[in-house]
Amino acid sequence: MNWLYYLAEANIYLGVFYLAYCLLLKKETHYTFNRVYLLFVCAIAFVLPLIQLDFLKPTVYINAGAPIDIPVAEKRLSWQSGLLYSYLTGVIIFTMQFMVKLYQLQKLARLKPAYSSKDYTLICLEGSTTAFSFFRYLFIGTDAAEPEMIKRHELVHIRQKHSADVMALELLKIINWFNPTVYFLQNSLRSVHEYIADDQTALAAADTTAYSSFLVNNAYGISGPSFTHSFFNYNLLKKRIIMLHQKRSGNLARLKYLIALPLCAGLLCESTLGFSKSYGFINIGHAATVLVTDTVPKKLPPPPPPAPPAKPKKGAKGLVPPTPPLTQIKPDGKSRPNLPPPPPPPLEKGKGKYPPPVITKDDQAKKQDVKFPPPIVTKDKLTKKTKDVKFPKPVVTKDKPAKKEPIADIRIDDSAPAPAKKAEQSADIRIEDAVVPAPAKKSADN
């Protein structure tokens, strides 16, 4: 529906130009400049939306890794379709009216001309008071008053080809029939045409007051078709007489027509920056474009909780662990292969610590807490003493008394003196932590 947006933008610009004409130029007596301005704005209003000043656009960043969503067109009747059908209906109606008017003029042009030359063709209408012109055809009724004055007025329209302006406005009205600005602009252009013809006719008659009286006396004549220049136009009679007696504008007033230049520049900038469109076919300058590669991965939504483990099946050699799924279903509904975890990132320079190992959920699921059973303690072991150990008394006979061997000297340092030898062994002997008393000497009597 880009063409509808184009028509809307063009008609907005047309309204802005016509508003400037009504505020600044409408009362000026430079009629030729008014005519040129009105025709210029009718054309430039439909050209500006097609021009784009690319150097005014901001920098465009294109993300190369961003996904592009292509909307799927739905086949249904929307408000845009209804608007399209309404617009086409209006175009067809106005086109048919225009064709009917052309057919009526063609029938009148087939009548036998009263006079024909390379400049114009005069056709007399029997029993009529009307007078109008269309391109090089001049139609005058046989009952019209002062036909020479009327002929002089209408020849100005023919020589300056005012009918071409009217036909251009008629075609513009068919395309933009919904815009009331087009109808006001068409009436203003018709008024300018009559001001030009009246001004030159009054100069030729050399009496402006007499020509004004002639217009008043023949105000109720029959007018011709709507897109012709009819001499008898009651709606414009008052304005025509006022402009005949209007004080002529000075040369400095011509500078007002330069208002069209800043208006064009401002609307062109607004067309570039204010409207996002695809129908800008004429590009001026180049916009700065930067291609950005998406190096940072986007945050994905959290994965769904893992499914409970399936019950293992009993095989021939025992329990068979379940095989992991080959694919994994993501939240967006698409299945992706269950790939192994990525390797750890490389160690940066200047840092001696390695990154922590990457542990996946599968590795965490494999981890199991190992618990050892408590030690088994019996009653027999509880009754035994582990600290005090007693050795049995040595058995000494009379024939072979127990020999007491001296304790060997152990030197750790050569410089230290050796301990003195004792005649007898100490009565107490220490074996590790337990102390065992030595056996007592028996008397001779025993």
In sequence order, what DSSP letters do the residues of 120-165 get, joined into one string? -EEEEETT---EEEETTEEEEETT-S-HHHHHHHHHHHHHTTHHHH
Q: How many Cβ atoms from other residues are within 10 Å of residue 246's Cβ?
A: 13
What is the signed CA dihedral for 138, 142, 145, 151, rounded to 10 degrees?
Answer: 20
> Does residue 442 form part of some domain?
no
Burial group, residue 160, by CB count within 10 angstroms (0-12, 13-18, 19+):
middle
> Does residue 298 form part of some domain?
no
DSSP lists the bridge partners of residue 53 as: 284
Q: Collapsing DSSP states into helix, strand and coil, what is residue 68?
A: coil
In the DSSP assignment, the letter for residue 332 is: T
> Does residue 38 form part of some domain?
yes
Q: What is the CA radius of gyration of the chain?
A: 58
> Does residue 100 form part of some domain?
yes
Whole-model pTM? Answer: 0.60
> Does residue 421 form part of some domain?
no
**In 3D, which of 254, 270, 196 has the Cα closest to residue 24?**
254
Enumerate helices (H) and strands (E) in the chain, giving the number of each: 11, 15
DSSP lists the bridge partners of residue 268 as: none
Supply the range of the domain harboring residue 36: 2-65+82-284
Q: What sign has the CA pseudo-torsion 264, 265, 267, 272?
A: positive
| pLDDT per residue as tens, the chain (446 positions) | 577 888 989 999 999 999 999 999 998 989 999 999 999 999 999 999 888 887 776 665 555 555 555 555 455 557 777 888 889 999 999 999 999 988 988 888 888 777 888 888 888 888 888 888 888 888 888 888 788 888 888 899 999 999 999 999 999 999 999 999 999 999 999 999 999 998 888 888 777 888 888 887 776 666 667 777 777 777 788 888 888 888 888 888 899 999 999 999 999 888 888 776 777 677 776 666 655 555 555 566 777 787 777 665 555 455 555 565 555 556 565 666 666 777 777 666 655 555 666 666 665 555 555 566 777 766 655 444 445 556 667 666 665 555 555 555 555 555 545 555 444 444 444 444 444 455 554 444 43
CB 191 within 8 A of CB 167: no
Q: What tokens does 340 get?
A: 């192994």
Q: Collapsing DSSP states into helix, strand and coil, what is residue 61?
A: strand
> Does residue 295 form part of some domain?
no
Domain count within the chain:
1
> Does residue 245 form part of some domain?
yes
> Does residue 324 form part of some domain?
no
